[in-house]
Every structure is written in C-alpha cells, then in structure tokens.
C-alpha cells in the first residue's frame, strides 16, 4: 500500500507558519484585552476574531482573482491583500 504524502515547500511552510503565529497573536491579544462586538463598514456586529477571519478570506479571494484575471506576478497582489486585512481589522 502506497500513501501519497504532501511535500512541504519553503513558501508553503512559511505561509502556514505565519497564519499560525497570527492566530497565536490574536489569542494573546484576546487574553490581554477581551474584545467587544462592534459594527463597522461591514454592517454586521463583529469581534476581532470575526474580522480576522473575514480578512483572511478576503486575502484568499484577492489572490485567486489575481491568478485568474491577471498575468502579472502574484507578489504584486500582496500589498492589496495586506491593505485589505488592515482595513477590515481596523474599520470592519
């Protein structure tokens, strides 16, 4: 019986490590300063964790749209994605 294992590349390991570290940072932030629900431009009551999740989903969609609609290098989508997650976390 042969099992096909996923082989990690350095970029994918860095990506998932960064996500893990951001979640750990969010946990520490929540312990130090508990969140309060608020309504921003998303027009739904959100907590810090909800905005973080929406921001991560948005960055994934930005990158997928970039891949599907553009021939440019994917690294050019990174500033747009970072700006999106900062905007959602701050004013979302």
The domain spans of the chain are 10-91
What's the pLDDT at 2? 61
Residues 33, 48: Cα–Cα separation, whole Å: 11
pLDDT in tens, 24-41: 999 999 999 998 899 988
pLDDT in tens, 55-74: 999 999 999 999 999 999 88
- Calculate what percentage of the chain has a pLDDT beyond 90: 67
pTM of the shown model? 0.79
Residue 1 above 60 pLDDT? no
Please give the C-alpha separations between residue 46 and each of 3, 37, 84, 86, in angstroms, as whole numbers.
42, 5, 16, 15
């Amino acid at each position: 019986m042969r099992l096909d294992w996923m082989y990690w590349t350095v970029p994918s390991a860095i990506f998932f490590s960064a996500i893990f570290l951001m979640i750990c940072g969010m946990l520490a932030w929540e312990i130090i300063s508990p969140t309060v629900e608020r309504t921003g431009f998303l027009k739904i009551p959100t907590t810090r964790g909800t905005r973080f999740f929406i921001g991560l989903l948005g960055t994934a969609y930005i990158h997928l749209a970039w891949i599907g609609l553009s021939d440019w290098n994917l690294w050019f989508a990174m500033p747009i994605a970072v700006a999106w997650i900062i905007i959602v976390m701050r004013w979302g």
